[in-house]
Amino acid sequence: MEQIVIVRPDIVDNKSRELLGKIRRTQEFSEKVFVVEGSRDSITELCSLPGVKTPLQLTPTESNQLSDAERLSIEAWTSPADRQAKVRPGDGLGWGHKDFEPPR
């Protein structure tokens, strides 16, 4: 499972830091906004700790404290467009594979 998280370094405690160090980051939009991948339980635990929130958990004030780039990244990542429905010929294949079609 992937989830975008927003980290408030001024609020994060030691347990939050420890779990953040163990969970895999798949994308980083800034030092405090990134996508993590893990089990549902580990992500649920992470997002329940001090200083770590999902976009839906942000208050309007917290959202306003994000940079324009961070807000845009969150908006793009959480948009309702079905990211997985897009068909990409040869997706997952090496560029040298006979069935791979390079992006245009």
Strand partners, 34: 5, 28
For the chain, the domain total comes to: 1
pLDDT of residue 86: 66
pTM for the model stands at 0.72
Residue 86, both tokens: 């897009």
In a domain, 69, yes or no: yes
In a domain, 97, yes or no: no
The segments of the chain whose pLDDT lies below 50 read: none
Q: In the 8-state DSSP scheme, what is residue 38? A: -
In a domain, 100, yes or no: no
Q: Provide the domain limits for residue 72.
A: 2-85
In a domain, 19, yes or no: yes
In a domain, 104, yes or no: no
Strand partners, 4: 35
In a domain, 63, yes or no: yes
In a domain, 65, yes or no: yes
pLDDT of residue 56: 94
